[in-house]
Chain A
Amino acid sequence: MKFIKRYNFFLITIGIIGIITLINRSVGIKAIGVAGYSLKEMALVIPPVFILLGLLDVWVPRETMVKYMGEGSGIKGVILSIILGSAAAGPLYGAFPIAAVFMKKGVKFSNILIFIGAWSTTKIPMFLFEMSALGTKFAVTRLLIDIPGIIIIAYILSLLMQKEEIKEIYKKAENM
């Protein structure tokens, strides 16, 4: 029962694919193929990310993280958040567990949001790929708009959230 409750979203999507397959076999098989491909991608990216997080959690003291990215880390914390997010590979959902560990370690809320923003859009490996596919002008323009953009979005989001709500999110990260 607990299993069904936890996995209800997954079970529903399986049901939908099942129905699609009954209606149109080839479309259903294609959907399963795409899902299988994503599953493979997840299997490749996710395990090392979580292991690295476990190591970070155990080895890097809270004080170190607070010093570099916590309250009062100033511009240094902002730049570090952008660099950490940009250096990463992997889809956006890979950033959330990292953000949770950062919260546990006392990283400032706006820096967490900047990290998420950088991960989503200024990733260096992707930038090189974008340049070759869509041209230097396209990629560089996008990068130059995105860097101030993610910082501004991060500060707007910090302002939108009440102190209590932020505390709640940090508390949740503690149990992740």
Chain B
Amino acid sequence: MGNYIIYAVTLILLIISFLKDKQKTKNALKKAWKSFENILPEFLGVIMLVGILLVVLNPQVISAVIGAESGWFGVILAALVGAVTLIPGFVAFPTAAMLLQNGAGYMQIGAFVSTLMMVGIVTAPVEIKYFGKKLTIARNVLAFVFSFLVAYIIGKVAGGI
């Protein structure tokens, strides 16, 4: 749904741009292609890596490590799983809900969801290409640590303690 809106908006803007100035529009498309081509090798590598990781870390494995009563050890594992996987939200949230129903703790799920969104080990090559090694590592480490705070508070609030 969101994708179609982006496509529609892009198309409309492109048409307006073309009507206003052909040369500028041509330049815009050239720039778009140049920046896309620039990052393509990293994108393709990341996509294949996601394929490999998701067959290793399937839902059964994930649910085994962050199940009920796993405590802080489970939180750490959940955070690690979230950090290395790259699952789109519309798959991740139902999966997280399913894990909760099967007895996973709120704290563990909080850590999993938080690192899943903020920490990207698999996408690091793309991030490094734009921001360099130092910033990429620092950002991911900070986000990882921050996720434990998120997990703790979610555990308190949503877990109802």
Please name all residues of chain A whose beta carbon is closer than 8 Å to the beta carbon of B66 when the two chains form the complex: none
Q: Are B36 and A38 in contact (CB under 8 A)?
A: no
Q: Are A133 and B50 in contact (CB under 8 A)?
A: no
B55 → chain A closest CB, angstroms: 5
Of the four ranges (under 10, 10 to 19, 20 to 34, 35 or more), the interface on chain B belongs to: 35 or more
Q: Are B28 and A55 in contact (CB under 8 A)?
A: yes
A-B contact count (CB 8 A): 221
CA distance A53 to B29 in the complex (A): 9
Write the A1-44 contact mask toward B (1 if CB under 8 angstroms, else 0).
Answer: 00000110110111011001000000100111111101101101
Please name all residues of chain A whose beta carbon is closer than 8 Å to the beta carbon of B51 when the two chains form the complex: 17, 31-36, 38
User: Which residue on B lies nearest to A37, using beta carbons?
Assistant: B51
CA distance A47 to B37 in the complex (A): 11
User: Which residue on B lies nearest to A173, using beta carbons?
Assistant: B130
Q: Are B142 and A142 in contact (CB under 8 A)?
A: no
Query: A48-B10, A91-B86, A125-B2 given as contacts; is B55 within 8 A of A34 (CB)?
Result: yes
Q: Are B94 and A133 in contact (CB under 8 A)?
A: yes
Please name all residues of chain B whose beta carbon is closer than 8 Å to the beta carbon of A133 when the two chains form the complex: 93-94, 96-97
9 tightest A-B CB contacts, nearest first: A35-B51, A54-B32, A13-B48, A54-B28, A133-B93, A9-B45, A48-B10, A89-B2, A34-B51
